[in-house]
């Protein structure tokens, strides 16, 4: 039968606006979180990361907020530009009992960001 694809959330903004992309993660024991940007035909590109001992981290035009109480992650992009249009993924590194989960990132479904000039 025909497979049903993931229905990705979408966010449309005007150039120059600030964007906020949200992500709910699943494992309360995860200790490392990353945001990636994926443009069409390319692999995911690292944007910013944060560890569980922090609740905020800033980069160039981007800020990641972590709320461990409600298991929520957000990515804020300031002064959004057309070049920011892409699919944005959050990823977590789940913590296996007895040790680090080697090399395994668990990804969210992604959010499509469209920036209109």
Partner 1 sequence: KAGVTQTPRYLIKTRGQQVTLSCSPISGHRSVSWYQQTPGQGLQFLFEYFSETQRNKGNFPGRFSGRQFSNSRSEMNVSTLELGDSALYLCASSLSEGTDTQYFGPGTRLTVL
Query: What minimum distance in Å lies between the beta carbon of 52 and partner 1?
Result: 10
The nearer residue to partner 1, 80 or 110, going by C-beta atoms, is: 110
Does 5 contact partner 1 by CB under 8 A?
Answer: yes
Return the C-alpha torsion angle 20, 26, 28, 30, nearest 10. -80
The pair phi, psi for residue 13, each rounded to 5°, is -135, 165
Which residue stretch of 10-18, 57-65, 74-82, 97-105 sits at the interface with partner 1 (rule: CB under 8 A)? 97-105
Which residue stretch of 10-18, 62-70, 75-83, 99-107 sits at the interface with partner 1 (rule: CB under 8 A)? 99-107
Query: What minimum distance in Å lies between the beta carbon of 89 and partner 1?
Result: 7
Query: What minimum distance in Å lies between the beta carbon of 110 and partner 1?
Result: 7
What is the C-alpha separation between 24 and 61, in angstroms, rounded? 22
β-sheet bridge partners, residue 112: 10, 87
Secondary structure (3-state) at 45:
strand
**8 A C-beta contact, residue 23 and residue 74:** yes
What is the C-alpha separation between 27 and 31, in angstroms, rounded? 9
What part of residues 31-90 is at the interface with partner 1 (CB under 8 A)? 31-32, 34, 36, 41-46, 49, 51, 89
Give the interface with partner 1 as residue ranges (CB under 8 A). 3-6, 31-32, 34, 36, 41-46, 49, 51, 89, 91, 93, 100-110
């Amino acid at each position: 039968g025909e497979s049903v694809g993931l229905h990705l959330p979408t966010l449309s903004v005007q150039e120059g606006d600030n964007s906020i992309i949200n992500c709910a993660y699943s494992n309360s024991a995860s200790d490392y979180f990353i945001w990636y940007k994926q443009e069409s035909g390319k692999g995911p590109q690292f944007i910013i990361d944060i560890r569980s001992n922090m609740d905020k981290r800033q980069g160039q035009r981007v800020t990641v907020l972590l709320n461990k109480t409600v298991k929520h992650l957000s990515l804020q992009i300031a002064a959004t530009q057309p070049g920011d249009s892409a699919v944005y993924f959050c990823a977590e590194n789940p913590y296996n009992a007895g040790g680090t989960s080697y090399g395994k990132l668990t990804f969210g479904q992604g959010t499509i960001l469209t920036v209109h000039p």
